[in-house]
Amino acid sequence: MDNKGKGIGCGGWSPNRREFLAGLTALGLAGWTEQTFGAATATSGWSGLPDRPGEQPLDFQALANAFDAYVMDPAHGVNLRTKDGRQVFPSALEGVEDGGLTTYGPMALGKELRGEGLDGLAVSLKGYFSEPYGLFLDGAGGTLCEYWYLMNVTALAYGLIRLRFEHDKEWLGRVESSAERLKEMAQQLKYDFNSQGYDFVKKAAFTNQDIYRQPDAIGGYSYVMLLAWKLTGKEFCLAEAKTGIDRYLGFAANPWYEIPSGAMATLAAARLQAMGYQTDAKKALGFVLDSKPGLMATGKWGGHEVNGLMAGFRTEPAGQAYSMETMVTLPYLLPAVRFRPELAADVARHALNAVANLRLFYPEYLPHENQSRPDLPSMVPYERLSREEKGHSPYATGDFAGHRSIYGGAYVLWLDKMVQAQGDPWLLRWDLNKTNFLDQDLPQAFLYYNPWPQEKRITIATPQGQSRVHDLTQNRTLPSHGGRVELRLAAHEASVIELVK
């Protein structure tokens, strides 16, 4: 069953929005055909993002608190228990079934980042580990999986293991087993993920329709193998991460199918490049921040800015953006700038626009006639935003499974701990450590960006024992006065700051 309403997922085929959209493609109504792979460019469109969005970023602390309180309250019917005692969450607010690791993972990681954690994490996460196949799948008992789901849920599982079980031999054994199985699959495929997914019973790739081919999954593969190396120390994982990123960056045209893979690839490329490996994180970022194939929205829909919002999968009709795809991009892009500070300005500009324009997924920011279920609780975002639907622009809605997204909305728990306004609501500080699951022992680092046309000054307080503040962007140490450092940001400048002992 596809928990997300976007194809097979990890399980079995069922009619869903993806099949519906495939029909539109067949009728010539979608904004993409296979030939687009040859026409797309590696970088284009992303430099067109405005320096500052017209609307200010959302208050993610208030939003996360409200989302957390609502979802975790069993009375609201979305904090569920299975017959064997595992805690699960439906993918949509109106759902009644397990939304898979695609939903549980963001919820569990969000709770970890907020310092709370979920009770029974070990039991619940173990339910998504397939003992027969030795890896993590989206659904308990799954036998086949689309590649993007496979890489996404593996990354989520590894992140949880890093935060909660990194010294537990049993869990590290699952990481090693999973990495071994992924390596076997990738080598069998000759690292060519230009199919839909993998059938673990048949031990073969499958593709139900050509429009579902997912070549960019090799980028996600690079990241999960790099994280597996960090967790286990197994050298084959590092070798596979390098092979994966080489294959991903070997594409002349943007291979995008689903954004988590490209976002993970950007972090993998940046981290490997910082280790001295010859790769190109800027090209990886260019694949992500690419508006030409329809991946990143730019401009206005119905008078509302949509700059920085991200599309779902490549084969859907043009003029669609999704809450999950927009939010899941940031936890991977932000840590990348610590390792490649030259990416800071572009990532910061994208992040600022995204966190401002995410408001369009929340009901209070649109008229009732521009949304499908304004009656549902306001702290849970819509899954999808259409440029035009039912005569309204933009129009917020969902897919066949529901309207409001738990699997996407859960990432607001992450954003709460990633971003903090610095007095001015448009002047943000991004924490580069929180979602860097590759490295948990690095000094604190932050990204600052000035979206204004005049200089801004920010005071940085240095914690006790951290006497130096290093500007990684300009490779200089900033002078400290009484435990405080003044950071001067020129117009539209971004700085990556590290607090050094």
Dump pLDDT digits (tens) for 224-244: 999 999 999 999 999 999 999
Res 11: pLDDT: 64
Distance CA 473, CA 477 (A): 11
What are the DSSP calls for 307-372, one per residue? TT-B-S-TTSPSSEEEHHHHHHHHHHHHHHHHH-GGGHHHHHHHHHHHHHHGGGGSGGGS-GGGBS
Tens of pLDDT along 249-262?
A: 999 999 999 999 99
Distance CA 479, CA 352 (A): 28
Question: What CA dihedral angle connects 195, 146, 379 and 329, to 10 degrees?
Answer: -50
pTM over the 0.75 mark = yes
Q: What is the mean pLDDT of the chain?
A: 90
Q: Which two tokens stand for residue 260?
A: 């988590």
Sequence-ordered alpha helix ranges (H) in 358-481: 406-409, 411-418
Tens of pLDDT along 389-411?
A: 999 999 999 987 799 999 999 99
Res 411: pLDDT: 98
Looking at per-residue confidence, does 294 or 72 come out higher? 72
Q: How many CA atoms lie within 13 A of 8 on its CB side?
A: 25
Q: Are residues 221 and 182 in contact, defined by beta-carbon separation less than 8 angstroms? A: yes
Q: Which of 8-17, 23-32, 127-136, 153-162 has the lowest mean pLDDT?
A: 23-32
Res 59: pLDDT: 96
Of all residues in the chain, what percent carry a pLDDT higher than 90?
81
pLDDT-derived band of residue 30, with 50, 70 and 90 as boundaries? very low
Res 10: pLDDT: 76
Res 40: pLDDT: 31
CATH numeric code, 443-500:
2.60.40.1180
User: Would the pLDDT of 27 be above 70?
Assistant: no
Tens of pLDDT along 115-166?
A: 999 999 999 999 999 999 999 999 978 899 999 999 999 999 999 999 999 9
Res 9: pLDDT: 76
User: Would the pLDDT of 32 be above 80?
Assistant: no
pLDDT-derived band of residue 8, with 50, 70 and 90 as boundaries? low
Res 479: pLDDT: 82
Looking at per-residue confidence, does 189 or 19 come out higher? 189
Mean local confidence (pLDDT), 303-324: 94
pLDDT-derived band of residue 466, with 50, 70 and 90 as boundaries? low
Res 96: pLDDT: 86
Q: Are residues 213 and 194 in contact, defined by beta-carbon separation less than 8 angstroms? A: yes
Res 320: pLDDT: 95
Res 180: pLDDT: 98
Distance CA 219, CA 489 (A): 34
Q: Which two tokens stand for residue 403?
A: 């309207």
Q: Are residues 191 and 246 in contact, defined by beta-carbon separation less than 8 angstroms? A: no
Mean local confidence (pLDDT), 454-458: 95
Three-state SS at 6 = coil
User: Hey, where are the domains in the chain?
Assistant: 61-420, 443-500
pLDDT-derived band of residue 317, with 50, 70 and 90 as boundaries? confident
In Å, how far are 113, 157, 175, 177 from 171, measured between CA atoms? 19, 10, 6, 10
CATH value of 61-420 in 3.20.20.10, 1.50.10.20, 3.40.710.10, 1.10.3260.10: 1.50.10.20
Q: Which of 33-47, 125-139, 168-182, 331-345 has the lowest mean pLDDT?
A: 33-47
Mean local confidence (pLDDT), 104-117: 97
Res 134: pLDDT: 96
- Helix or strand holding residue 445 (H, E): strand 445-449
Q: Which residues contact 425 (CB under 8 A, 6 or more apart)?
A: 56, 57
